[in-house]
Structure 1
Amino acid sequence: MCMNLYWIWLLFNAVAWSFAILGFSGDLSEITWRLFGLSLFFILFFFMPLVKEKPVISTVLIAINAVISVIILFPQQGEPFNLFLLLILSLLIGEAYYQLSTRLASIIAIVSTIGVIFIILNKDLSATEISFILLYLVFLIAAIILYKQTKNEKDDFFLRYDVLLSEYRSLKRRVVSEEESARQEERTLIAHEIHDSVGHKLTALLMQMEAFRLTADEKDQEQIQSLKSLASESLEETRNAVKVLKSNEIGGLQGILRLIRMLETESFIRIQFSVKHGAFTVPLTGEQSFVIFRSVQEALTNIMKHSNAREAEISFEAPGGSVFRFEISNPVMNSYRFEEGFGLTSMRERLDKIGGQLEVQKTEEQFIVKGFIKLAD
């Protein structure tokens, strides 16, 4: 989006200057220095994206371009006032109010106004021309200030919306976490009840049957042994049921997909899944599942923070059953360099701890996070 705006501003300036230079007159040397000034104007214009994060430097560059425009289009002997100067200064003032704060943008408006007034004072213009120029500047600045106020209110509205949305997501996660905690407590309570009642009674039954077997007749031994085996199997199944009830961990890729699906619902991101080469059946441990989920979650969090595109592609694969690979990619709309922050660094450390590796790539069109984990034989 930012790059598209840059090209739009460039197009507007190029068109305005194309018509403005048609009014150039004089000898070759005079036209030459004007063209040199025009070249300097566009050189500074091309520097603007590099200092976008430094508003003071941006203000200086735009102010210099305003002065250059006034100097280049200053009417020479016998030349009329070049009205395209007003259009070029309007573009500079508009760009300043769009990118900078009101205080810094006002500096550009003041510099441009002083330049136009300097031309009025040093050239013999008619009253009609002077009135038109002054009214144009007054209406332009008033309109841009009104636009800036409206834009600030809109930005404030979206900021409050994002804060409320973040609070809603946090509350939703907390509710889900509390529900899961209550559910787990209930499961644990049921497991204890089964263990303390059914488990103990089956154990006592086995002990009594063993005591009865020692005193029973030979003809009843086979039936008693069969009953004892049935009681042992029941006790083992009860113990397994207790273990399942106490377990709160869903391992494997299925658990990861369940957690990511919940994150997708909360974050309103369109996610395309791609599962290849037996990734569904790969035997992941609980720690591996947790690290993969946290890695995917961090990648999606980066998308929410730094990307305007609410979409991502996630792929899992386990070629040969020796490694588990995952890849998260999303489209990007800027060419800025990225630096690994705390989230990506933590992701890399988690993967290194379990023998994995992380790779982060940024192209002109995509931001890609890749990782793999070595699986046990």
Structure 2
Amino acid sequence: MKSYWVWLVLNVVVWPFAIGYTDLTINQLTGQLFGVALYFAIFFLIPLVKQRPSLFVFFICLNVIIATITLLPSDGTINPFLILILSLLIAEGFYHLTIGSSLIISVIGCGAILITVLNSNLGQIIEIFVEIYIIFLLIGLLVYKQTKDQWTDLDARYQALFSEYRDIKRRAVSEEELARQEERVLIAHEIHDSVGHKLTALIMQLEMFRLQTSEEYKEKVQSLKELAGESLNETRRAVKSLKANDTGGLSGILRLIRKLEMENMIRIHFSVKHGAFSAPLTGEQSFVIYRSVQEALTNIMKHSNAKEAEIMFEAPGNSIFRFEISNPISNRSLYKEGFGLSSMRERLEKYGGDLKVIKTDEQFRISGFIKLLNIGDEHGSNITG
């Protein structure tokens, strides 16, 4: 879009000078003004056929002819601004089109410049100068086009490599987290099976010893039994803490946001409204929200060039918990829901919620909610022997 305004400004600046250089009265400018109007009418149509190179070439060449007829002097002089306008049209072709299509415009544009020069009564030195100008113009545009194509190719390669790097990074983090969780569960089982059982056996033996011992030692044995019981309870709490999966939930979302920002993958604007953090979510509901946000951010990094996203949580009336993830987009390709979003919708519907995906020309937005009504108590797992 920026390039369109640049070309428009250049043409708007040059054309008044070109018309003024003709030194004609208002009555004599009727044909020239009609040519200017026709030129800009076609100029405004060109962006509409940008995806059709053949029409793009046709309209550019048509503007070359219109500009030449409009500004070609009939008294044997030359209008230098006509050469500048024709140069702009040739340059616009090189900017938007392939080398082959650009060369077609170059041939017609340079031919128009040569017709302008040959139609005038210029000296041989001026004609040679214009010919040298044409040569340097074409060489410069060819070098620019080659450099631009190389840069575009390098940028595409970089984006592909960076996307692959982010995928590998995400897999590495997920595998590391999974390995850490498996290790914690293994340690918890080891503690439960060895220390927990031994402490339980110790408590039973102390109770038997207390029943058999004299009154003199019963109080001391009882204190030892209570100490062993406290140790067993602390061991059970440690086992429960190790086996608890703390990767999800709202706290997990905050960790996910911090991790992505630290790795410079994406900049996230996070906002909380209407007491979302105090919403009575169960562990399963928190985990579903965590996975939904994670999937949405993964889609942004995988399918979009956006470097920033917005996340919003709210719980209006404590009846539903609502989340929204949005990011700016530049491409206007058709949206097709993939497996990740379908799975996300199924998980939300399981808890009485729903998912909506909205794509506009400037933004991609995912919003979902979970019902908070009739929430039962969340039962923790029993990690005793």
Same fold (TM over 0.5): yes
- Give yes or no for contact 1:348–1:357 (8 Å, CA) kept in 2: no
Give the alignment's TM-score, normalised by structure 2.
0.78
Q: Paired residue for 2:378?
A: none
- Give yes or no for contact 1:274–1:315 (8 Å, CA) kept in 2: yes
Change in 2 beyond 3 A, CA 1:177/1:311: closer
Q: Sequence identity, in percent?
A: 48
- Partner of residue 374 from structure 1, selected from 358, 371, 379: 371
- Partner of residue 111 from structure 1, selected from 86, 108, 125: 108
1:237 deviates by: 5.0
1:10 deviates by: 0.3
Q: Paired residue for 1:340?
A: 335
State the secondary structure of the residue aligned to 1:19.
Answer: helix
1:84 is the counterpart of 2:81: yes
Give the alignment's TM-score, normalised by structure 1.
0.80
1:217 deviates by: 9.9
Distance 1:205 1:160 in 2: 66
Distance 1:314 1:229 in 2: 50
Could you tell me which amino acid in structure 1 is paired with residue 243 of structure 2? K
- Partner of residue 136 from structure 2, selected from 134, 139, 143: 139
User: Number of aligned pairs?
Assistant: 366
- Give yes or no for contact 2:270–2:312 (8 Å, CA) kept in 1: yes
Change in 2 beyond 3 A, CA 1:36/1:341: farther
- Give yes or no for contact 1:318–1:324 (8 Å, CA) kept in 2: yes
Tell me the C-alpha RMSD between the 2 structures: 3.7
Change in 2 beyond 3 A, CA 1:43/1:246: same
Q: Paired residue for 2:37?
A: 39
Change in 2 beyond 3 A, CA 1:223/1:48: farther
Change in 2 beyond 3 A, CA 1:54/1:199: farther
Q: Paired residue for 1:200?
A: 197
Per-residue displacement from partner, 1:221-267 (whole Å, max 9, x unpaired)? 99999987876675565445334323444232110111122222334
- Give yes or no for contact 1:356–1:374 (8 Å, CA) kept in 2: no
1:88 deviates by: 0.8
Distance 1:198 1:41 in 2: 89
State the secondary structure of the residue aligned to 1:285.
Answer: helix
Change in 2 beyond 3 A, CA 1:233/1:251: farther
Distance 2:2 2:102 in 1: 21
Note the 1:1-377 alignment, pairs <5 A: 3-24=1-22, 31-76=29-74, 78=75, 80-122=77-119, 124-205=121-202, 235=232, 238-282=235-279, 283=281, 284-299=285-300, 301=302, 305-307=304-306, 310-330=307-327, 337=332, 339-342=334-337, 346-347=340-341, 350-351=344-345, 353-354=347-348, 355-360=353-358, 362=360, 368-376=365-373, 377=375
Distance 1:270 1:211 in 2: 63
1:79 deviates by: 5.1
Distance 2:314 2:366 in 1: 14
Distance 1:271 1:321 in 2: 25
Distance 2:368 2:237 in 1: 35
State the secondary structure of the residue aligned to 2:73.
Answer: coil
Distance 2:33 2:97 in 1: 29
1:112 deviates by: 0.4
Gaps of 5+ in 2: 376-385
